[in-house]
Amino acid sequence: MMCKAEKLNNLFFGDKKADPEVTTDGEAKAIAQLARDLVDTIQVLLGERHSTNLHRLAYHLLAGLQKVGNLWEGDTSVNESAHSSIKAMFRRTNRVGRSLMMQVLRALETQTDVLQPFEEEERDAHCEAGLSAVAQGVAAAAVNAPVDGAEEQEYKATEQLKAFKRGVTVSLATVEKRPGLARLAAALGVPPTSTALMVNTIVKRAVFECGAPSVRQQVRDTVKFRGTPWFSFIRYKGADGRTQWGMVKVVLRAVAGARRSCVVVPCMRRAEAHRACDLTEFGCQRLA
């Protein structure tokens, strides 16, 4: 059931398609059929569910796709992302009648004017130093995949992105207590007593194999983000040019008092797939 739901989600939003905003009639019919199969599976496993969402998936999805062409036409993510700031502004108003909306709009306009120069600077600025790779027991790799020709000018690779996140100074001996990082100091070529400037979030440029335009993505390594750990899994190009996978464990901006921007990534390897496994049937790559 979960595999079918994930596959349906990928078809909805154009996973591995260079142009996700174009949906052919054949693709729309395939999506609608998979949705119907998913609903049938849910009904078998969980019993009859007569929710509005399931009904629309099973009986009205195809008509909806044929009417608007794709789900991006109904995308509300931009409006949704603005809710948090609007709510904060609302709490600071007097919540009285007609003046309420004007207070919120004025606050939003002020915030937009204040942030605009910083957003323009971030778009135009180039990072002074890029992400470097380190190895020895614990692998560290640049999180951007190489691009060439005109694409390089358009995409502005990861090392050209400016970092604004503040870091904290920690002892490498303390960091080495994390699982899988016992040889971190040796990998960096410094004593365990050395200190490092560590950040929990960086921005990288994701390059897609399907040819879609590059986008910015956030990569995190923190034991607590909104109450839970977040260590990002990434796919990247290794020093030998091969595709590799790993989990981001540490992001460093300086080591032993010297500027050194790098990402520490314990490598994962391809593992043999289990036969008669749903994940194998749906084309997932098993890693270890």
Q: What is the structure's pLDDT at 127?
A: 36
Range of the domain at 189: 150-268
Q: Is 273 within a domain?
A: no
Identity of the residue numbered 7: K
Overall domain count for the chain: 3
Q: What is the pLDDT, as a whole number, of residue 195?
A: 92
Give the CA count within 13 Å in the CB-facing half-sphere of 87: 6
207 inside domain: yes
Of 58-72, 147-161, 265-279, give the lowest mean pLDDT range.
147-161
Residues 115, 48 share a domain: no
* Contact of 208 with 147, CB cutoff 8 Å: no
Residue 140 domain-assigned (yes or no): no
**Mean pLDDT (whole number) for 187-214:** 86
Q: What does the mean pLDDT of the chain come to?
A: 77
- Whether 198 and 251 share a structural domain: yes
pLDDT at 221 over 80: yes
Q: Looking at the structure, tell me whether residues 203 and 108 fall in a common domain.
A: no
**What would the two tokens of residue 203 be?**
């921005």
Among the three residues 56, 75, 94, which one is the final residue of a domain in this structure?
A: 75
Please name which of 205, 263, 220 lies closest in space to residue 238, comparing C-alpha atoms.
Answer: 263
Please state the φ and ψ torsions of residue 233, each to the nearest 5 degrees: -90, 140
Structure-block tokens of residue 288? 């270890």
Enter the pTM of the model: 0.58
- What is the rounded CA–CA span in Å between residue 31 and residue 9? 9
Same domain, 98 and 53: no
